[in-house]
Every structure is written in C-alpha cells, then in structure tokens.
Amino acid sequence: MKNIKDYNLEELKQELVDLGEKPFRAEQIFKWLYQEKVKTFDEMTNISLELREKLKQNYTMCNFNILKKQVSKDGTIKYLFDVLDGNAIETVLMSYHHGYSICVSSQIGCKMGCKFCASTGINFIRNLTSGEIVEQILAVEQDENLRISNVVFMGIGEPLDNYDNVINTIHILNNQKGLSIGARHISISTSGLVPKIYKLAEENIPCTLSISLHATTNEKRSKMMPVNDAYPIEELIQSCKDYIAKTNRRISFEYALAKDNNDNLEDAKGLVKLLKGMLCHVNLIPINKIENGAYTKSSNEHIMKFRDYLNDNGIVATIRRELGSDIDAACGQLRRKNLKQ
C-alpha cells in the first residue's frame, strides 16, 4: 500500500483527483497529518466517512514504532525506529538555545564506506522514502510533544545518493500548510557526490549544504573516504564554487579531526589554501572513535589550535559541540540496526 506521507501537497492533490475527489481535500489531509499530527484517518473529522474509508483502502499512515529511546545526560535523545519492514533506523533529537534540531537518516545503511563512520561496514539495504524521512520528524514531535525547527540530513546514509526522495522531503517539510520548516532551517550533508552538488545548485532550494571534507590532499582523503577516488578534491571544490556562484549561499565544510592524521599545522595550512576566498564556514568535529576504528580524537589543545589558525588566516571556523556521545548519538555513531539481529 502507498504511504500517504510520501506525497508533497501538489502530488497529493493529484492523488485525490485520481480518487474522484476535489483537490482541496489534500490540503485538509495535509493539515491533519502535519499540523494536528493525527495517527489515524478516523481522526480526520472534517472528511466524510466515505472518503476516510477510501483513504484507508489506498494508503497507510506509516506510523513508526519506537523500539528504543535513549536519553543522554545533555538532553539529546536517540530513537531507534521500526520502519515497518523488518529494518530499523536511528534518529537523534538535539536541543539548542534556538530550538530543537533533528538529525534524520536518509537510507537504511550507506554505500559510501567512510573509514571513521559507524554506518560503514554494514550492508546497504535501501533508500528511505520521503514519507519515511518525514515520519522520523513526526514521530519525535508526537513522542516529545514539541516542535522541531531545524532538520539536518546527517544521520545514516548519503542524502545525495537518495536525491529525489530527499528533495521531495524538503518540499513536504517546507509547505506552510504542513510542518512549515523553511529550507533555511534544513541542512544536507554530503560526502561529496559531485554531479549531485551541481544538480542541487539548480533546485532553487535555499537549504544549507554541508560538505564532509575531512582532509586536504587526495591521498589522505581517499584513505578516509573511498568516495574521493570517484570525486577527488579538485572536482569537489569546483562543484562547491559553482554552487556558491549559483545560489550565493555559504557552504559549511565539515572537518573531523583525528589524532596524528589530519590535525596538524600542515593540514590547517592546506585547508586555508583550499578554501581561501570562498563563501564558507568550517565546522570542526572532534572525531568520535568507533568500534575497531583506526581514528581517535585529537586533543582539545590541537583542536583549538587548528581552529585558531583557520580563524587567524581568514577562514571562519567553529568547533562543533559534542552532543549525545554517552548514548552513541554523536556524529558518525549512528548505525543501521536490524530488528532480526
């Protein structure tokens, strides 16, 4: 059966027309789903019983079950959701002074194989649908009774490898008759799928693009991120320059610092050289060691020195606050969990 949350408003109007209904019904349904956040068609009380029956026969609501919920001492919450097909994914809720942010997964598993990431080494299963990405937000909002203001595509998966569903998710989230989360409050993080970066630049969606850079030479980056063999640094940076020129939007470069690997002065110099003059910001992440991982966290002193060098040399850099590390919810710690395991 089709998932009613997979459709943006225009598509849902067409679905309703195909069912022999008036398109405005789609707006009513959208309101029920995303403003009232109901979990059943029966709660949609301004819709006739007959149409409710039709909807039940044609669509599911895709309400995720919470398999596990872990609360960190800093307030971060990690959810393990049953995505209703025998698989499970993780989603993280973070609280900031400006509101609540959610880190959503975009795929069940990941194909990218980054050596430092916990989502690696587990088989890729499938893309999540738009409705399954949207449902992560709804399920958390329902569970905690709050409103999420920021969405980051930094959970399990490579969002640009699930391009169409991620773009459609953004259209669903943006809609003012629904969740009304503006594109400016949405970040897409990519390991660097260059052709998709060019494509995203054409979308006219003012979301934030984050690039997981992590190294400044191809030799080093390829060791950490096999995707670099397909799209080396020069091509990646060129696509970023094109993105900035087309959108006039600042790019955020993610740089996870690993001890004795990419955290010394030479690396900082390389980063300055690479990014000089670009409309960008560098987000330094203390790397989180994963089980059997080769990379360990740099010392705080190294991280601060690295940041200061960048800032002193014209590159705006900040250190990302680590949230949820005690519940394995910090950057790169999310993994696909199979219910059958």
Supply 200's token pair.
């995203």
| Nearest CB to ligand SAH, comparing residues 32 and 306 | 306
**SS3 call for 194:** helix
Question: What is the closest distance, in whole angstroms, from the C-beta atom of residue 190 to ligand SAH in the complex?
Answer: 5
Chain positions 37 to 66 lying near ligand SAH, rule: CB under 6 A, are none
Q: Which of 103, 117, 207, 331 is catalytic?
A: 331
Question: What is the closest distance, in whole angstroms, from the C-beta atom of residue 168 to ligand SAH in the complex?
Answer: 18
Question: What is the closest distance, in whole angstroms, from the C-beta atom of residue 157 to ligand SAH in the complex?
Answer: 6
Question: What is the closest distance, in whole angstroms, from the C-beta atom of residue 178 to ligand SAH in the complex?
Answer: 24
Whether 110 is a known active-site residue: answer: no
**By C-alpha distance, which of 270, 280, 269 is closest to 318?**
280
Chain positions 286 to 325 lying near ligand SAH, rule: CB under 6 A, are 287-288, 290
Question: What is the closest distance, in whole angstroms, from the C-beta atom of residue 285 to ligand SAH in the complex?
Answer: 5
Chain positions 258 to 287 lying near ligand SAH, rule: CB under 6 A, are 285, 287
Among 109, 131, 324, 332, binds ligand SAH (CB under 6 A): 332
Site size toward ligand SAH, by CB under 6 A? 18
| Nearest CB to ligand SAH, comparing residues 69 and 111 | 111
**SS3 call for 204:** coil
Q: What is the DSSP string of 36-56?
A: S--SSGGG-TTS-HHHHHHHH
- Cα 299 to chain centroid, rounded: 27
Query: Phi and psi of 238, rounded to 5°?
Result: -60, -40
Q: Which of 15, 90, 141, 254 is catalytic?
A: 90
87 with 97: CB under 8 angstroms?
no
**By C-alpha distance, which of 77, 104, 91 is closest to 170?**
104
Question: What is the closest distance, in whole angstroms, from the C-beta atom of residue 24 to ligand SAH in the complex?
Answer: 38
Range 260-264 contact pairs with CB under 8 angstroms and sequence separation of 24 or more: 261/220, 261/224, 261/295, 262/214, 262/215, 262/216, 262/220, 262/224, 263/298, 263/302, 263/303, 263/306, 264/302
Among 331, 335, 336, 337, binds ligand SAH (CB under 6 A): 331
Among 90, 132, 135, 158, binds ligand SAH (CB under 6 A): 158
Q: Provide CB contacts within 8 A for 223, sequence distance 6+.
A: 115, 215
| Nearest CB to ligand SAH, comparing residues 5 and 221 | 221
Chain positions 86 to 145 lying near ligand SAH, rule: CB under 6 A, are 112, 114, 116-117
| Nearest CB to ligand SAH, comparing residues 109 and 178 | 109
Among 21, 90, 254, 267, binds ligand SAH (CB under 6 A): 254
Question: What is the closest distance, in whole angstroms, from the C-beta atom of residue 20 to ligand SAH in the complex?
Answer: 42
Chain positions 194 to 213 lying near ligand SAH, rule: CB under 6 A, are 212
- Cα 210 to chain centroid, rounded: 10
For residues 98 and 50, what is the distance between their CA atoms, to the nearest angstrom? 43
Tell me the per-residue interface mask from 173 to 192 with ligand SAH, x by CB under 6 A, - otherwise.
----------------xxx-
Query: Phi and psi of 290, rounded to 5°?
Result: -100, 165
Please name the helix (run of DSSP H) or strand (run of DSSP E) that holds residue 272, with its range, or none.
helix 265-275
Whether 50 is a known active-site residue: answer: no
**SS3 call for 307:** helix
| Active-site residue set | 90, 331
Return residues touching ligand SAH (CB under 6 A). 112, 114, 116-117, 154, 158, 189-191, 212, 254, 256, 285, 287-288, 290, 331-332
